[in-house]
């Protein structure tokens, strides 16, 4: 065998080994295509900071019905509201990949939607849920005014059923029942208008606890996020 033929054969064998390593078998794929695309148990676990001297509103029952009654009895802290809002069903928003030691970032949040008599969403009251101490603490509330897109839309803006259907339509992937779909918020930095952060162009939502997005476990072993823009993202699409 000539030296040229030997080198050519060696090059072909090296390429075949590389293709096998990156997984190009039975179709096109890419190296580490699935790397870090599933959060796993730890990635879905809340790391609520256990602050010394716990304070807040005691929680004896954290079912949605009990939390609605508990949070509805608290002041709403919404400036400028002239009428008593009607509380809706509260929901939990979970942090993912956030471990800062601060309860606002590390703890889940109970979100209480508030409606007017005509059914318009007029505010969301946000409470940090310090579950190690079984207390909630008021975090913030935001008023929603006529003319804003969400004023005429119920909260949640996208239901779990809609998120599951969007994943099926856009990616052709089903959703596992366990772990169940979760509402989450993300540790991304959009910055300010005068000082844009690295995620300034992100339009998928989830930047704050009161604007949660859906986290779904796909039947293909990957985790997916369904944004408030009704687009489906993988973990690699998020500008962490």
What is the domain count for the chain? 3
pLDDT at 41: 75
Q: Note whether 165 and 129 are same-domain residues.
A: no
Q: Note whether 229 and 166 are same-domain residues.
A: yes
Q: Are 206 and 225 in contact (CB under 8 A)?
A: yes
Locus of tokens 């000539």: 2
Give the containing element (helix H, strand E) for 164. Answer: helix 160-171
Q: Note whether 61 and 145 are same-domain residues.
A: yes
Tokens of 236: 């690699």
Q: Is the dihedral of CA 111, 112, 118, 121 positive or negative?
A: negative
Where does a domain end: 134, 152, 170?
Answer: 152
Residue 51: inside a domain? no
Residue 9: inside a domain? yes
- Angle made by CA atoms 237, 40, 226, in degrees to the nearest 5: 40
Residue 174: inside a domain? yes
Can you tell me the distance from the alpha carbon of 112 to that of 145, in angstroms, rounded to the nearest whole number? Answer: 17
Residue 52: inside a domain? no
Where does a domain end: 97, 129, 152?
Answer: 152
Strands 213-217 and 223-226 come out as antiparallel
Q: Note whether 65 and 18 are same-domain residues.
A: no
Residues 185-222: tens digit of each pLDDT:
998 888 888 888 888 889 999 999 999 999 999 999 99
Q: Note whether 144 and 225 are same-domain residues.
A: no
Residue 206: inside a domain? yes
What's the predicted TM-score (pTM) here? 0.80
Residue 18: inside a domain? yes
Q: Note whether 61 and 148 are same-domain residues.
A: yes
Q: Note whether 182 and 146 are same-domain residues.
A: no
Where does a domain end: 119, 152, 185?
Answer: 152
Q: Note whether 182 and 227 are same-domain residues.
A: yes
pLDDT at 25: 33
Residues of the chain with pLDDT under 50: 6-34
Q: Note whether 169 and 212 are same-domain residues.
A: yes
Residue 50: inside a domain? no
Q: Note whether 141 and 189 are same-domain residues.
A: no
Closest CA to 90 of 156, 161, 159, 150: 156
- Which DSSP letter does residue 147 get? T
Q: Note whether 105 and 125 are same-domain residues.
A: yes
Q: Note whether 64 and 82 are same-domain residues.
A: yes
Task: Name the residue range of residue 26's domain.
Answer: 1-33
Residue 95: inside a domain? yes
């Amino acid at each position: 065998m000539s030296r040229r033929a030997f080198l050519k054969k060696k090059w072909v064998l090296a390429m075949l080994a590389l293709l096998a390593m990156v997984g190009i078998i039975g179709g096109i794929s890419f190296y580490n295509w699935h790397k870090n695309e599933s959060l796993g148990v730890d990635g879905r676990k809340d790391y609520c900071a256990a602050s010394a001297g716990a304070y807040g509103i005691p929680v004896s029952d954290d079912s949605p019905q009990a939390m609605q009654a508990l949070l509805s009895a608290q002041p709403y802290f919404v400036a400028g509201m002239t009428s008593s809002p009607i509380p809706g069903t509260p929901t939990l928003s979970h942090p993912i990949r956030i471990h800062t030691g601060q309860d606002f970032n590390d703890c889940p949040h109970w979100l209480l939607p508030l409606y007017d008599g005509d059914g318009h969403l007029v505010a969301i009251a946000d409470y940090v849920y310090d579950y190690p101490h079984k207390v909630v603490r008021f975090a913030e509330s935001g008023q929603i005014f006529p003319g804003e897109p969400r004023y005429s839309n119920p909260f949640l803006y996208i239901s779990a059923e809609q998120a599951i259907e969007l994943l099926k339509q856009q990616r052709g992937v089903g959703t596992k029942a366990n772990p169940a779909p979760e509402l989450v918020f993300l540790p991304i930095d959009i910055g300010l208008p005068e000082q844009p952060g690295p995620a300034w162009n992100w339009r998928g939502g989830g930047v704050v606890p009161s604007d949660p997005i859906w986290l779904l476990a796909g039947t293909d072993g990957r985790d997916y996020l369904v944004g408030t823009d009704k687009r489906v993202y993988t973990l690699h699409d998020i500008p962490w």
